[in-house]
Each structure stands twice: as structure tokens, then as C-alpha cells.
Amino acid sequence: MTVLFSELLVPGWAEGPDAKIGVTAFADSSTKLPCHLAEPETFFAESQAEISYAKALCGECPMRAKCLEGALSRAEPCGVWGGELFEDGKVIQAKRTAGRPRINPSINPSINQPEKEEVQLAS
């Protein structure tokens, strides 16, 4: 049997002076952080438009730097954290779309080039 465990389920993990996230150390209950007002799914979206929207929500957030620092230290597996997109614990520029990547003609110029036909002149 496999048991799934998340530190976020442990009381106090994300709050208090020794917290790994430390949200309460920087924001009191009167602060309305964008990530607390938006749907959680927004920060784990698949489409580029939704990812851009999630990054924009982080734009003016007072917790942005600390959020990013925490996500890097925890090697977050996915999602938008501190205005950056994470995948496999690393910051990436954009998610890969499904399917085979396009061929880069600068790497192999012979690909996608029409074959030259040899023309023989009648003598």
C-alpha cells in the first residue's frame, strides 16, 4: 500500500515563526494576497493564457520574492510561484505543448528541403 503525504497537511508547517513558507511572518490577516483571492487551479493551469494570467496576479504581490524563494527551496514540482512557472523543481519559461517538437532547419538544413531533380539534356 502507498501512502501519499504532504507537509502542507501538518499543522503549523506553513505558519508561525519557524514556518517553511512563512506567510504569517510577512502578511497579517488583513492583507489580501492575490493567490488567496483567486481560484487555486489558476496557478496550476495548462494553457499559456491562464499561466500568463497567474503570473500577472503575482505582479504586485508583496509576498512575491518570499514566495519564489520558498518555491525554489522546496523545489516545487509544478505551478506558478512568485510569478515564475515551475516544472520539476525548476523555473521554466513556458510549458511544452503536446506533440512532437518542430524541426529546427538551422540544425539540419537538409530537412524539409525539396529534393533537387537532375535534368538530363537530350543530345
- Using one digit for the tens of pLDDT, what is the confidence trace for 6-37? 555 444 455 556 655 555 545 555 468 888 88
> Hey, what's the cell of 76?
516545487
Q: Which residue has the cell 532547419?
A: 105
User: Which residues pair with residue 91 across a beta bridge?
Assistant: 86
pTM, entire model? 0.58
Domain ranges, residue 58: 32-95
- Total domains in the chain come to 1
Average pLDDT (83-110) is 81
Report which DSSP code applies to 18.
T
Distance of CA 75 to the CA centre of its chain: 11
